[in-house]
Structure 1
Amino acid sequence: MIFYLSGTGNTHWAASYICDATGDRMVNIADAIKGNNTYTLDKDERIGFCFPVHGWRPPVLVRRFIEDLNIVNPDGHFCYALCTAGDNIGETIDILRADLKKKGIKIDSAFSLIMPESYVGLPFMDVDTPEKERQKKELAAKELEEYTPYILYRRSGFEHLDIGRWPRINSRVIGGFFTNFLITDKPFRVDTRRCIECGTCAGVCPVGDIKGGKGLMPEWRHNGLCLTCLSCYHHCPVHAIEFGGRTKNKGQYYFDKNKQ
């Protein structure tokens, strides 16, 4: 069973690749969290957690999901984690490991993939250049191909993690600030002169935080569910969405299978 969360599509691509190799079921955390999170695993079924890194931490939604998660028979089932990030992951896996330990689940192997940058919510951050995007995707595809046999054959004790420098400061200090102050839908704005009311932004929001659709001007619900994944911003075909003034004149990115 592959529990996954994806905003701009990087993690969905990786989780789908693993699913094709293992035949394990995929469960979208953004949908599953709305229901009864009790699961019974099939014989020899793996437990996978695939998600993007938010502020050098697992996304808030992933951590909430794990709090409510009840796997009836986790003992003896191989468990792995795979996270995607634009740069490095800090102590993301350590935080995930502690959360899962409370549920009686032990991570056997863990992996990270460096993917094209999509977080543009701070003044000094932008998407990668086309060349860097291409290089990252090529390397990630190669690494995912290398990681998959470890998952397929349930090999424990393997870690390939891009932890980076100052992991504790990044995850515990800066990550705490990110979680407490930067995860919000309040700065989102729509340029009504550009918006074509196509409904794309509402359709791609992983948590359904945008009220809109074909023929409607999008509105954010301000209900506390926003992940600030910026998927709405990146997918807008006319660049009509901004995150306050922080995204002005910045680029857009989402994982496009047709460009692989």
Structure 2
Amino acid sequence: MWQKTNQQTESWRYVMTGIYFSGTGNTKFCVDTFLKEYGYSTNSFSIEDNETLGRIENENEIVIGYPVQYSNIPKIVKDYIIYNRHIWKGKSIFIIATMGLFSGDGAGILARLLKNYGAIIVGGLHLKMPDSICDEKALKRSFEENKKIVMKAEEKICKSVCNIKNGKPPQEGLGIVYHFAGLFGQRLYFFWKTQKYTDKLKINTIKCIGCGLCEKLCPMGNIAVKNGIAASSDKCTMCYRCISKCPTQAITLLGKKVIEQNDVSKYL
């Protein structure tokens, strides 16, 4: 798997599929860059798109990208894998895990889940990206630092694709050492944060103008505008889309106020 002759690679370019879940665009950018570097003509698809399942079912080589949360899989991604467990058998999968700081076995935890359903894990890649947590000052970096982070991620993707073409796909996040690093690095201490959807999303009703953008962006349908004011429920998957896009900075999750709204397009 994933070790093709030149002739096979030419035909393979047209059947590869990239799928992702992305909050502020980091993971989508990384999956798209990976596909472009390899020369694939196939576009990437969000797990929220209706056509994504059909793409997965009809193709054998798949790249899956997602942002790590507390060294774990976002709840929405885990549910997607489990709910559609019948489609993974025999699929050859490369995993891209994006993160703001550290994950340990970011790719490995998804790999273990997919293996339960018969997937063949080709390799894993960890990519540090600008953080997507808009309301925590401690995680903020300068604009210049974030641009460098994105450039380094692109360089790492290019190197990884070269290695894959040479039959040596990276194995980041896979294996027992990575497993223990993720387990004892964060997951044991914050295990409960990713086992359920959260009800901690806060909307400042004074700042809210009822524009409805957050309602449209939410992948969980967790936000609804009622009587001109947005209100949240208990199914937030912590993607930070609504927080990063709210025009009045009326929404927070982990912190008390928005420090900086994030979108990867700022650094491209």
Question: TM-score range, shorter-chain basis?
Answer: 0.7 to 0.9
Preserved CA contact (<8 Å) 1:41 1:71: no
Preserved CA contact (<8 Å) 2:93 2:121: yes
Task: Give the distance between the partners of 1:155 and 1:198, measured in 2 at CA.
Answer: 50
Identity percentage of aligned residues: 22
Question: CA separation of 1:158/1:141 partners in 2, compared to 1, >3 Å: closer, same or farther?
Answer: closer
Out of 15, 26, 37, the residue aligned to residue 10 of structure 1 is: 26
Task: Give the distance between the partners of 1:148 and 1:202, measured in 2 at CA.
Answer: 37
Question: CA separation of 1:41/1:73 partners in 2, compared to 1, >3 Å: closer, same or farther?
Answer: farther
Moved more, 15-24 or 99-108: 15-24
2:4 corresponds to which residue? none
Preserved CA contact (<8 Å) 2:21 2:77: yes
Task: Give the distance between the partners of 1:24 and 1:154, measured in 2 at CA.
Answer: 22
Q: CA deviation at 1:50?
A: 0.5
User: Quick check: 1:179 aligned with 2:194?
Assistant: yes
Task: Give the distance between the partners of 1:29 and 1:220, measured in 2 at CA.
Answer: 22
Out of 114, 122, 138, the residue aligned to residue 108 of structure 1 is: 122
Q: Secondary structure at the match of 1:40?
A: helix
Preserved CA contact (<8 Å) 2:108 2:173: no
Out of 246, 249, 253, the residue aligned to residue 236 of structure 1 is: 246
1:41 corresponds to which residue? 58
Task: Give the distance between the partners of 1:55 and 1:197, measured in 2 at CA.
Answer: 32
Read off the aligned partner of 1:84 and give its amino acid letter.
Answer: T
Q: Secondary structure at the match of 2:65?
A: strand
Preserved CA contact (<8 Å) 1:127 1:253: no
Task: Give the distance between the partners of 1:196 and 1:18, measured in 2 at CA.
Answer: 39
User: Quick check: 1:219 aligned with 2:235?
Assistant: no
Task: Give the distance between the partners of 2:69 and 2:88, measured in 1 at CA.
Answer: 29
User: Quick check: 1:68 aligned with 2:80?
Assistant: no
Q: Secondary structure at the match of 1:100?
A: helix
Task: Give the distance between the partners of 1:88 and 1:145, measured in 2 at CA.
Answer: 21
Preserved CA contact (<8 Å) 2:143 2:267: no
Preserved CA contact (<8 Å) 2:107 2:126: no
Per-residue CA deviations over 1:132-179 (Å, capped at 9, x if unaligned) read 21221121122222223455x484542245969943213431241322
More helix by share: 2
Task: Give the distance between the partners of 1:205 and 1:90, measured in 2 at CA.
Answer: 28
2:262 corresponds to which residue? 253
Moved more, 197-206 or 7-16: 197-206
Moved more, 22-31 or 96-105: 22-31
Read off the aligned partner of 2:93 and give its amino acid letter.
Answer: C
Q: CA deviation at 1:187?
A: 3.7
Preserved CA contact (<8 Å) 1:2 1:48: yes
| Total equivalences in the alignment | 247
Per-residue CA deviations over 1:71-119 (Å, capped at 9, x if unaligned) read 65853x5420001100111222222121011111121111011001122
Question: CA separation of 1:23/1:229 partners in 2, compared to 1, >3 Å: closer, same or farther?
Answer: same
1:168 corresponds to which residue? 183
Task: Give the distance between the partners of 1:73 and 1:196, measured in 2 at CA.
Answer: 43
Preserved CA contact (<8 Å) 2:108 2:124: no
